[in-house]
Amino acid sequence: MFKAPSPTLLDNAQIMVDKLDPSQCIPNEDKDAWKLNNQVPEAYHLVSVPDDDQVALLPPSSPSSPVTKSFPRIGPDDDAPNQDDSQLQGNTEYECCERVIINVSGLRFETQLKTLSQFPESLLGDPARRNRYYDPLRNEYFFDRNRPSFDAILYYYQSGGRLRRPVNVPLDVFSEEIKFYELGEEAITKFREDEGFIKEEERVLPENKIQRKIWCLFEYPETSLGARIIAIFSVLIILLSIVIFCLETLPEFKHYRVVNTTINGTGHTLEEDDIPKFSEPFFIIETGCIVWFTSELLVRFASCPEKLGFFKDIMNLIDIVAIIPYFITLGTVIADEQETPEPQKKQQNNQAMSLAILRVIRLVRVFRIFKLSRHSKGLQILGQTLKASMRELGLLIFFLFIGVILFSSAVYFAEADSDASHFKSIPDAFWWAVVTMTTVGYGDMRPIGVWGKLVGSLCAITGVLTIALPVPVIVSNFNYFYHRETENEDKQQAYVHVQSCPNFPRRKTASSDASDHEDDEESDIMEMEEGMALTTGLDKQTKQNHANLSNDANNMSIETDV
């Protein structure tokens, strides 16, 4: 650090020198130099020239003066050790208690040097990088940066690493300030986590070039036009499969089979046949959809970079569940086509068993709708919201469970003396309690007596309060994920700022790579455009002025004497 004597100290020294009798001064060959006799020590208690090199703004003098001291210009090499161990230890203790003045766009901050030294890898903690912004005339460091942000930056040093964004500073502006002061990637990562950002997992791509292209085609629709076309086609196939699943249940599309009701075969009845036929149009279209689903699943598995992790993905499990019912149904159809004559009773039992299994299997087909979540941001946001709100949903179910037990028991005993009571038992009242607490109210079960109606009123009010409490938290989670998704889609604007001192170009640290040179330069320089009509001559004159200032600063050397 370089410290200049205060103006008051210099003025007192000048007054003492002016009061000296010229007759007592010993003449010298160099008339511009001053040499004092026995009164010189009287001025020394006012102006003390230290042993080490420091900046002192005193009148110029001759090298032959007895107290002349030469002070080199300020540079990053000033902190190089050139003293013995004892003197260096003393200077270190002095620097730890030394105060530093930092001027941020006109707002002055004062702190101790040891506070900044806690993070030597940062801009303010590294003397070599910090000195590039030093103003020797004002004895301060000047930064033309955002002033409200520096409160949090300085608190980061004072607190030992706690970074909190001021409420009046936008997120993007504060992020740029963190990068400018070089607080490090760890500070940026922790800051983003505190702000609620979830670290996105890196995309793992196959090493093989062909597999990587195939994987991107089916997994990342935003990577290319071909991937978008495949995604759109897959969505259409999913919608077609869901439409067929719904249309099959219409009465005009159902088919029936004749079932014997007597042993001798004289009695017949019609029953719904859930086993499809190969010749049915719906079955043919369903087969085409399954061919696409199966092919897509196999291709994605073949090009997947992690085979074991492929089956851990919930979306891949949904794809597998979506195609399994078809193959089970296909086996049932083949068995039905090749059916051999059997006793009538045994045949009816087998048919009943097959129909029950098929109905369950067909129900599983409805899960194909979740395949849309692979291509729908809305469904992904809904899934993330439910996942983040599992605790609130668990509390909601727990509160409803307590309310159902409490009010179903109360309404049963309140209606026990009524002959027309709808509540035959406490389990029968469970349905009424759930419907009432959720404010649905089907009306199939209702209290009749006065006490029963009072219990029903309390049940409805309690249900409203119980459901209303966790709902705002779930809505807040949904809003967070929704806005985060929309903000990620927007292009991030690049903000660059004015370099505090144009005479000192930005230097790269030893840990930085050459490939990051352009990014670092862009983050330190902001183009301040007040008008577009700038002439070429004005630009050249401005560059020449900056060059002259730079040369003057590099050649600056001060010599003083008393």
Distance from C-alpha of 269 to C-alpha of 256, rounded to nearest angstrom: 10
34 pLDDT band (50/70/90 cuts)?
Answer: very low
Is residue 367 predicted with pLDDT exceeding 60?
yes
Q: Where are the alpha helices (DSSP H) in 415-535?
A: 426-437, 450-468, 471-489, 517-524
Q: How many CB atoms lie within 10 A of CB 47?
A: 19
Is 184 exposed, middle or buried, given 0-12, 13-18 or 19+ CB atoms closer than 10 A? middle
- What is 99-195's CATH number? 3.30.710.10
Residue closest to 79 by CA, chosen among 3, 134, 133, 2 = 2
> Which residue carries 């979740």 as its tokens?
370
Instruction: Give pLDDT tens digits for 508-549.
Output: 444 444 444 444 443 333 333 333 333 344 344 444 544 444
* Selection from 139, 136, 132 nearest residue 98 by Cα: 139
Exposed/middle/buried for 360, CB within 10 Å: 0-12, 13-18, 19+?
Answer: exposed
pTM of the model: 0.52
- The CATH H-level superfamily of 209-337+349-375 is Voltage-gated potassium channels. Chain C (1.20.120.350)
CA-CA distance, 212 to 391, in Å (whole number)? 39
Return the top range by mean pLDDT from 14-28, 87-101, 226-240. 226-240
143: part of which helix (H) or strand (E)? Answer: strand 140-143
**Across-strand partners of 111?**
100
The angle subtended at Cα 489 by Cα 485 and Cα 494, nearest 5°, is 120
- The pLDDT of residue 180 is 93
Domain locations along the chain: 99-195, 209-337+349-375, 380-489
3-state secondary structure of 135: strand
DSSP 266: -
Give me the mean pLDDT over the 234-262 stretch. Answer: 78
Q: Please give the structure tokens belonging to residue 466.
A: 């119980």
How much helix, strand and coil, in percent to the nearest 5, is found in the chain?
55, 5, 35
pLDDT tens readout for residues 453-476: 999 999 999 999 988 888 888 898
Q: The tokens of 406 are what?
A: 């409490």
Average pLDDT, the chain: 72
Residue 84: partners with Cβ closer than 8 Å, 6 or more residues away: none
What is the β-pairing status of strands 558-560 and 107-112? Answer: unpaired
- Using the predicted structure, report yes or no on whether residue 339 has a pLDDT greater than 60: no
* C-beta of residue 181 within 8 angstroms of C-beta of residue 122: yes
Chain centroid to Cα 280, Å, comes to 52
CB distance 495 to 176 below 8 Å: yes
Least confident of 42-46, 203-207, 424-428: 42-46
Which residues, listed in sequence order, are joined to residue 142 by a DSSP beta bridge? 103
The helix (run of H) or strand (run of E) holding residue 69 is strand 69-71
Contacting residues for 496 by C-beta, under 8 A, at least 6 apart: 522, 523, 524, 525, 526, 527
The C-alpha atoms of residue 380 and residue 386 are separated, in whole angstroms, by 10
> What is residue 355's predicted lDDT score, i.e. its pLDDT?
64
Torsion on CA atoms 291, 293, 295, 296, rounded to nearest 10: 160
pLDDT at 79 exceeding the cut of 50: no
Of 180, 264, 181, 234, nearest in space to 526 by CA: 180
CATH of range 380-489; options 1.10.8.60, 3.10.580.10, 1.10.287.70, 3.55.50.30: 1.10.287.70
User: Do residues 437 and 406 touch, judged by C-beta distance below 8 A?
Assistant: no
Alpha helices in 469-535 (DSSP H): 471-489, 517-524
CB 149 within 8 A of CB 143: no
CA atoms of 133 and 140, how far apart (whole Å): 8
What are 307's two structure tokens? 């085979």
Alpha-carbon gap, residue 296 to 331, rounded angstroms: 22
Taken in order 277, 278, 279, 283, the sign of the CA dihedral is positive
Cα first-last separation, the chain: 23
According to the model, what pLDDT value does residue 434 have?
Answer: 93
pLDDT in tens, 205-222: 888 889 889 988 888 888
Contacts of 240 (CB under 8 A, 6+ apart): 285, 289
Model pLDDT, residue 60: 44
Contacts of 375 (CB under 8 A, 6+ apart): 221, 231, 234, 235
Beta strands of 261-371 (E only): which ranges?
A: 268-272
